[in-house]
Amino acid sequence: LSFFNNFLDRQRTTPVPFAGESLSLDAALGIPGLPQSATGQTALLTGVNAAALLGRHLTGFPNGKLREVIAQHSLLKTVRERGLRAAFLNAFRPPFFDYDPFQIIRYLSVTSVCNLYAGLPFFNLDDLRARRCIYQDFTNEALRRRGHEVPLFTPGEAGAILGTQAAAYDFCLYEYFQTDRAGHAQDMELAVRVLTDLEEFLAAALARIDLDETLVVLTSDHGNIEDLSVKGHTRNPAMTLVWGSNTSSFTSGLSSILEVTPRILEVLS
């Protein structure tokens, strides 16, 4: 957490005015090598040690074995099976909707596969324009560069949308990976901009969430942006920030990304 905390001390422009807790979670999962997205995200969103299952860390998209784990243990699927309202709040762009997702499942991220097996709808750009969801960069700059006619959001506007939409669900998931891209780029200027935008986004989201009734968890499946001296991921613990109701009981004894999904399900029980 040292890079992040030092960054906040130097760059803070929109302080997050909400008390929360910070902790570091093991993402290596007892397996040699650098943690990777496919196994790490599967572990984070199912509670199953995906790296141990494969005997290695797997990058990119989940393979058949990991998809089997997701199909059985996905957090989104479990929440829905309990009769609760769940949503994956990321917007998807064309040509995603031109295909049957099961026909392109080998090219879908863990989060997308989780949503697919949960039987939940995927949000499209019309939903984005109606402010029912947000894109993965939350400002829509990437979409506009591709020629899509969508509004340009400030990080604060996007955070407000997330905070407002969260009230409609018992559990919602949003995935942001621009921090990962900045870490791979080893670009300090980009990293500072991404983290500054993320702070503004978080402050706006938290301002619209009833923290007496809602738990907010920001976490990751591996380290990266905290060490720009390396191009790849790190074996550092995953930075985790928690705000809202039951914060202390949620974080008590939490030490691994494997424990995040079970702990969320405890909160929802």
Q: What is the 3-class SS of 181-235, one letter each residue?
A: HHHHHCCHHHHHHHHHHHHHHHHHHHHCCCCCCCEEEECCCCECCCCCCCCCCEC
Strand partners, 91: 123
Residue 2: pLDDT band with limits 50, 70, 90: very low
Which residue in 131, 134, 126 sits closest to 91, CA to CA? 134
Residue 15: pLDDT band with limits 50, 70, 90: low
Q: Is the pLDDT of residue 63 over 50?
A: yes
> Helix (H, G, I), strand (E, B), or coil: what is residue 78?
helix
Mean pLDDT (the chain) is 89
The per-residue DSSP string of 141-169 comes to HHHHHTT---PPPPHHHHHHHHHHHHTT-
Give the pLDDT score at 234.
75
Q: Is the pLDDT of residue 226 over 70?
A: no
